[in-house]
């Protein structure tokens, strides 16, 4: 087995961290115009108003009609991508951890981190899916309730900053692909780890799915497809977290059994997440 190039593995970890930060930070960057500008845009371009809605009703539309805080389109899918990217970071991070603390305690630490990370992911995924489903239900209900419900939808959710979202998604995919490349550079046998390859490709696929959902419909409907994508991402994240949780529990049970059998210190073995037990064992040196 070829020596692991530690520097490339750390670059892969850094790339995943950057992708995660872009997901989290997108909520502060992507934002629609102020409410009054949205209304003005609708008045200037009546062609964007769906059939069955009288554009002249826009003349009397005001932010006060929707309460004190109108709110903005949710833009959930990109921030939700932080969940699968965070889980991927746990997996790849556990591969790099032996370079810092050695292999001896990795099975125990990997099991604990997998249990904690999986539990958080399951809970977060369920809550996120519920939030996205409620948002989707509200948006679809408003859009179909012509004429005034549709006008309310257009005013509140009919604007989505697709330009900024495309830039954010492009950055996320760039960092994800960079992580894959540097993992291969670190050790080509990474490609033999089918579970790791599956999770890497799944994370990239979810990002591509978000890009598609943002581009296949008119701008006024992007908020709806975005919420649909968010539901899919949350469900996938919850299932992924559940698998990680189960793997972590199995790993901890094995370590407890070793201790009860009087095996002394935990045996050294491959540094990996329980879900990626075929990861190559890091060796000393930067390669």
The total domain count for the chain is 1
Q: What is the predicted pLDDT for the residue at 54?
A: 56
Residue 216 lies in a domain: yes
CA nearest to 271, candidates 86, 85, 102: 102
Sorting pLDDT into bands at 50, 70 and 90, what band is 265?
Answer: very low
Q: What is the predicted pLDDT for the residue at 74?
A: 66
Residue 133 lies in a domain: yes
Q: What is the rounded distance in angstroms from the CA atom of residue 259 to the CA atom of residue 120?
A: 27
Residue 59 lies in a domain: no
User: What number of other Cβ atoms are within 10 A of residue 81's Cβ?
Assistant: 29
Q: What is the predicted pLDDT for the residue at 224?
A: 94
* Residue position matching structure tokens 């539309």: 61
The answer on pLDDT for 234 being more than 70 is yes
Cβ proximity of 269 and 107 under 8 Å: yes
Residue 132 lies in a domain: yes
pTM, 2 dp? 0.80
Q: What is the predicted pLDDT for the residue at 267?
A: 46
Cβ proximity of 196 and 279 under 8 Å: yes
Residue 48 lies in a domain: no
Residue 16 lies in a domain: yes
Q: Which domain holds residue 77?
A: 6-28+70-276
Residue 246 lies in a domain: yes
Q: What is the predicted pLDDT for the residue at 285?
A: 42
Sorting pLDDT into bands at 50, 70 and 90, what band is 161?
Answer: confident
The answer on pLDDT for 105 being more than 80 is no
Residue 110 lies in a domain: yes
């Amino acid at each position: 087995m070829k020596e692991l190039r530690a520097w490339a593995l750390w670059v892969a970890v850094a790339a995943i961290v950057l992708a995660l930060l872009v997901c989290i930070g997108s909520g502060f960057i992507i934002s629609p115009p102020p409410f009054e500008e949205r209304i003005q845009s609708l008045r200037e371009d009546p062609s964007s108003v769906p059939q069955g809605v009288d554009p002249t009703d826009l003349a009397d539309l005001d932010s006060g009609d929707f309460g004190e805080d109108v709110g903005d389109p949710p833009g959930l899918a990109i921030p939700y991508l932080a969940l699968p990217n965070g889980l991927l970071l746990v997996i790849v991070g556990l591969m790099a951890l032996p370079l810092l603390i050695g292999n001896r305690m990795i099975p125990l630490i990997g099991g604990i981190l997998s249990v904690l990370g999986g539990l958080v992911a399951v809970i977060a995924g369920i809550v996120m899916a519920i939030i996205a489903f409620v948002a989707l239900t509200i948006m679809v209900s408003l859009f179909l309730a012509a004429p005034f419900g549709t006008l309310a939808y257009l005013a509140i959710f009919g604007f989505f900053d697709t330009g900024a979202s495309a830039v954010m998604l492009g950055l996320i995919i760039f960092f994800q692909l960079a992580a894959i490349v540097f993992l291969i550079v670190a050790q080509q046998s990474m490609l033999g780890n089918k579970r790791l390859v599956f999770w890497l490709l799944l994370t990239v696929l979810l990002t591509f799915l978000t890009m598609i959902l943002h581009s296949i419909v008119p701008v006024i409907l992007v908020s709806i497809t975005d919420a649909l994508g968010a539901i899919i991402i949350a469900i996938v994240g919850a299932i992924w977290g559940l698998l990680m949780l189960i793997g972590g529990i199995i790993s901890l049970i094995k370590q407890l059994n070793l201790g009860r059998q009087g095996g002394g210190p935990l045996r050294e073995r491959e540094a990996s997440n329980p879900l990626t037990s075929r990861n190559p064992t890091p060796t000393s040196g930067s390669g």
